[in-house]
Homo-oligomer: A and B are copies of this chain.
Amino acid sequence: MDIILASASPRRRELLKLITKNFTAVAIDADESLDDNISAEDAAAVLSKRKAQAAAEMYPDSLVIGCDTTVVIDGKVLGKPHDPQQCREFLRLLSGRQHQVITGYTVICGDKCVTGKEVTDVSFRTLSDEDIDWYISTGEPFDKAGGYGIQGKGALLSDGIRGDFYNVVGLPVSALYQVLKTFNIQED
């Protein structure tokens, strides 16, 4: 059975290798428009399903995996920062507090479709303006939701998490592995 990861993210690709090396990663365009009143948790699950469904149409004989990761604080979703100023705003918002990283995931194979979501709480240290300027100067924030990468120097901004670490990086490998087992896809 071919496995398709419907994601262009190199980080997700690396993480899926913890489960299996036999898959193909493909970039999938899916409609990302959402109802205004949808919650952030539901949004991640809905978007993961759209990506998986789009991939399943292209690869009907494969098992496909779709994911969507969002960073949420006070019910507000933080995307990838457009510029240093927005990155500064994001990091000030996250400073000294706990926020949520939510990954929705959907696995489709033939008629079977399983959608779930994984939530990890991430706590940030209180950041000084100097801390924030330093972190922006590393160049890490700009391709990452929420403006930080916990797998890089962003680790120095956080003093702990509650939940699955790899969910914060972008793929909840442990939960996904349990789901894949129900599709009879085993690790190798």
Contact = CB atoms under 8 A, between A and B. Distances in A.
A97 to B, nearest CB: 16
B18 A155 contact: yes
Given A160-B164, A165-B161, A173 B155 contact: yes
Contacts of A125: 174, 178
Nearest to A175: B159
Contacts of A11: none
A178 B153 CA distance: 13
Interface residues of A, number: 26
Contacts of A155: 18, 165-166, 173-174
B134 A156 contact: no
Given A134-B187, A155-B18, A187-B153, A160 B163 contact: yes
Nearest to A150: B165
Contact of A173 (B18, B19, B156, B162): B156
A30 to B, nearest CB: 27
17 contacts: A18-B152, A18-B155, A125-B178, A134-B187, A155-B165, A155-B174, A156-B174, A158-B164, A158-B174, A159-B174, A159-B175, A160-B163, A160-B164, A161-B161, A161-B165, A162-B162, A165-B165
